[in-house]
Structure 1
Amino acid sequence: MLPAGAGYRESVSWTLWGGTACMVVASIVAFLFQWKSIVRSFSSLGAMFSLSKKRKLTDVEKIETPMSWFLTGQLISLGALGYLAHTSFNVPYWMSCIAVVISFFLALVVCRITGEANITPTGAMGKVTQLIFGGIAPGHVTANLMAANITSGASSSSADLLVDLKVGYLLGANPRKQFIAQFSGIFLGTLVSVLAFRSMVPDANALQAFNAPGARTWAATAEALGMGFSHLHSIKVLSIIAGGILGLILVLIPRYIPRTGKWLPTPIGFGLA
């Protein structure tokens, strides 16, 4: 299948399928095992959106971030994100809205799991979104990938902010002032990161030269879920099946036979490698 002397670029187009399936199945199964954390995350939504009548704020509420700031930020972010996704990647506005809604709920789950286990399952959240959009919008590979990117970015940022607030709490920092500092840093951070990335990656050819394994697994998943498995070579389909079974095994065995866990590789590390 591969020509003699084929390098990384040629071989990875085949080998990534088993690894991607291993990561996807393992991430989703591990995510489903966290159902108790998921239920607790959704049960807290009612308290989060309870807007009481005007009254005198307590000393604690004076240093907390107001709910009005959160709701305003959500609306502004939704409009800006929908516009950028549509103009940059031709993603329909309704898809961006669904991605943001999904991201909001999954970010709650990520924050809950991060607080309990100190592990941020960002990859699993992105794969869940890709599965959802694979059913909602089949054939939209770009929308599938960008929706997963929205969820992954929101989940990762939410978990990072949660950790920052925890550190600030331990140091006695004011949560409201922390929020203002984070908000101010968004603008400078966006400017610096975009300009730096632009200087490193001026075009698509420069981007492909990086050969990022993680990015290739995301793209492969988007292609598989967006265009269907009928477009894949039979060997790739078998690799997906074998990788999925391996990912399932690497999650289930350590869970039900704990003493074997130290002898088995992690499915995420194995699949990425």
Structure 2
Amino acid sequence: MPQDPSESPSTADTNRTTNDHTRPGPAPTVPAGKNVAELTVKAVLIGLALNVLLLTANMYLGMRSGLTISASIPAAVISMGLFYALRYAGIGGTILENNIVQTMTSAGEALAAGVIFTIAGVTFLDQSINIVETAAVAALGGLLGVLFMIPMRRYLIVDKHEQLPYPEGTACADVLETGSEGDGGVKLISLGFFVSFIYMWLANGMAVMKTTLETAFSAGQTRGFAIGGDFTPALIGVGYIIGPRIAAYVFGGGLVAWMMLIPLLITGGFVPDQAANLTLMGQAHAVWDQYVRYIGAGAMIVGGFYAIISMAGTIRDALASAAAELSGSKSETATQIPRTQRDLSMKVVVLGALAITIALVAIPQVELGVLGGVIAVVAAFLFVAVSAYLVGVVGSSSNPVSGMAVATVLIAALAMKSTGVSDPVVVLLTASVVAIAAAVAGDTSQDLKTGYLLGATPRKQQIAQMVGIAISSVFAGWVLSFFNQAYGIGSETIPAPQAGMMALISEGVLTGSAQWGMILIGAVFAIVLIMMDVPVLPFSVGIYLPITLATPIFLGGLLRAGVDRYVDWRSDDGDGAAKERATYRGRIIAAGLITGEAIMGIVVGGIYVLGIGADEGAPYAVGLASGTQTLLGGVALVALVAVFVGGVIRDPQDT
């Protein structure tokens, strides 16, 4: 865990400053000078099996609800249980083998998000799912995501360790450490897990309560002010981990969107025709979907370019290192770099990126053409950086992959339209490569953060991620085709909202109906934020995301601030030890909250896939009235907060 700045650096910390590749940071669980089992056969086999399982569950869940679950923590928990059982056969696993399992497993979840948000959109354009095409696009996009993340790892994971918490990556490290350290931490994470598991079963399994509480209102002549939140345990846990400052930026963007922009647009008569007869809340959602999310996308485009400019030194150093390796002039050998800082060779990055660029143009099933291939690779590089930065701020659960895909669709369609391209499928496949790369990069950065805290070897994690991508890609087309044949993508069972939106935008740009004005507004807004020295990406994400996601994240940040102040007031130690212990306890319980919800997501998804529950709504709904569900949701939220805070502040010396 992170050290107090006043403490002396440990031996491991000192070791990490022996070369110019690293900066001082937290002492890892496994020191750099110690070698333990990591990328083993049993870890790879378990990781591949879980990879396919969670790929399938996430593709169904994502097309049904529009959301996917983060697989890293569930995979870590499941693998710990499997390795614990294998101990009886004398073949138990190490903490770094567990880390390899979750790294490989989460690759399937990340790739699933990119596929269902984009490639699935071809069905809305009256095209069938091409299994080979899907596999090729998924593999090439996924590998780009891993490769482009490699030269950014040291800057984002090591140099920016304090500024970018990577909530799921940190929580996953806490889970793995807790499982290997004893009963105290296990009790804390179990508390969070079971509370979250039961909470989400009551909400999504039985429809006893609503987790989403929202309202819209008018003030004078201005209509359409909207506020609310999807108060799930995982989002509150993410907010607690990232802290109040970053959570406030995300929430601030949400307030600008839902309490300023949307009321102005509704009052000004910009309600879409199809939403004219809806409730005020329904109109607010329609205006956000039709206009405001494009403002967020425009702001993220500018923020992405600004992030690239901010990382120019790192990128320049990476390219210089690549040139040195390719020319054979680099004198430093791999053995001179600490094990915990060894990445895949830059030769692999450069040659791999070139090979993928050629493949995107040359493989007949991909059909992007020269322009599409170049746009895909350049945009992938940009949005890999954006995605890797964003998930460090708001977590993978709130990573706006669809926003990056929207930006790519707009750019690609505009460029291709100027050359006479009229097929929206080509535009959609170009965006698919980028969306998959961005999703995989976000997942890879979380995994590398976990490895950084545990003392894993980055190169082995990167290899594991690539193997996971390869397996996921092979199965992705089959799974997508199966669901399309079984239910029909775009049906009531699996509406696939993001995929439908991508198809609509692809056609819209080629036919001249895209929202370029809103994108320009977002771009100008981002420039103003940069001039004011406000972190533009988290603020832009707040504009792009529904307010129902920003609010619970902010609540989690407020809980963190409140707990810290309470512990400071109650304790009389001058070194902040009590606050540090409480922060650790809170992070462990928050990791349990994230784990419980993720596991329940898999359970509910499995029930839908097996068809053993109701066809619509919650699989085992008890039939309560909407008002009763809302009331019980409010009561459950208060109880959740009380249990969480009580678990953090109770006897903080018992860690």
Cα–Cα, structure 1 residues 106 and 42, in superposed 2: closer, same or farther, change >3 Å? farther
How far does the alpha carbon of each residue in 1:145-193 deviate from its partner, in whole angstroms, 9 at most, with x for none? 2222221111111111111111011111111111221222222222233
**How far apart are the structure 2 equivalents of 1:35 and 1:133?**
16
Corresponding residue number in structure 2 for 1:5 = none
**How far apart are the structure 1 equivalents of 2:286 and 2:503?**
11
**Per-residue deviation at 1:136?**
1.1
**Per-residue deviation at 1:47?**
0.8
Structure 2 residue 390 is the aligned partner of structure 1 residue 113: yes
**How far apart are the structure 1 equivalents of 2:303 and 2:373?**
28
Corresponding residue number in structure 2 for 1:87 = 365
Structure 2 residue 298 is the aligned partner of structure 1 residue 28: yes
**One-letter amino acid of the structure 2 residue matched with residue 40 of structure 1:** S
Q: Relative contact order, CA 8 A, sep 6+: which one is greater?
A: 1
Cα–Cα, structure 1 residues 225 and 137, in superposed 2: closer, same or farther, change >3 Å? same
**Per-residue deviation at 1:54?**
3.5
TM-score for both structures, normalised by structure 2: 0.32
**One-letter amino acid of the structure 2 residue matched with residue 79 of structure 1:** I
Corresponding residue number in structure 1 for 2:415 = 136
**One-letter amino acid of the structure 1 residue matched with residue 447 of structure 2:** D
**Per-residue deviation at 1:268?**
3.2
Classify the secondary structure of the residue corresponding to 2:456.
Answer: coil
**How far apart are the structure 2 equivalents of 1:34 and 1:188?**
30
2:344 to 60, 65, 69: 65
How far does the alpha carbon of each residue in 1:103-158 deviate from its partner, in whole angstroms, 9 at most, with x for none? 11231232233335546342332222222223211234222222222211111111
Classify the secondary structure of the residue corresponding to 1:44.
Answer: helix
**Per-residue deviation at 1:46?**
0.8
Whether the 8 Å CA contact 1:28–1:128 is kept in 2: the answer is yes
**How far apart are the structure 1 equivalents of 2:300 and 2:427?**
22
**One-letter amino acid of the structure 2 residue matched with residue 29 of structure 1:** A
Whether the 8 Å CA contact 1:27–1:123 is kept in 2: the answer is no
**How far apart are the structure 1 equivalents of 2:305 and 2:368?**
31
Computing the radius of gyration over CA atoms, which structure comes out larger, 1 or 2?
A: 2
**How far apart are the structure 1 equivalents of 2:457 and 2:484?**
39
Q: RMSD of the alignment, in Å?
A: 3.7
1:221 to 489, 493, 505: 505
**How far apart are the structure 1 equivalents of 2:370 and 2:362?**
7
Cα–Cα, structure 1 residues 34 and 175, in superposed 2: closer, same or farther, change >3 Å? closer
Structure 2 residue 482 is the aligned partner of structure 1 residue 206: no
TM-score for both structures, normalised by structure 1: 0.71
Corresponding residue number in structure 2 for 1:46 = 316
Whether the 8 Å CA contact 2:391–2:399 is kept in 1: the answer is yes
Whether the 8 Å CA contact 2:376–2:433 is kept in 1: the answer is yes
How far does the alpha carbon of each residue in 1:176-228 deviate from its partner, in whole angstroms, 9 at most, with x for none? 1112212222222222333222322249x822323221112111111111111
Normalized per residue, the structure richer in helix is 1
Whether the 8 Å CA contact 1:126–1:148 is kept in 2: the answer is yes
**How far apart are the structure 2 equivalents of 1:42 and 1:91?**
29
State percent identity of aligned pairs: 21
Moved more, 149-158 or 139-148: 139-148
Matched pairs, number: 236
Whether the 8 Å CA contact 2:360–2:369 is kept in 1: the answer is no
Cα–Cα, structure 1 residues 104 and 33, in superposed 2: closer, same or farther, change >3 Å? closer
**One-letter amino acid of the structure 2 residue matched with residue 91 of structure 1:** L
**One-letter amino acid of the structure 1 residue matched with residue 465 of structure 2:** Q
**How far apart are the structure 2 equivalents of 1:127 and 1:40?**
23
Moved more, 20-29 or 171-180: 20-29
Pairing 1:142-157 to 2, within 5 Å after superposition: 142-157=425-440
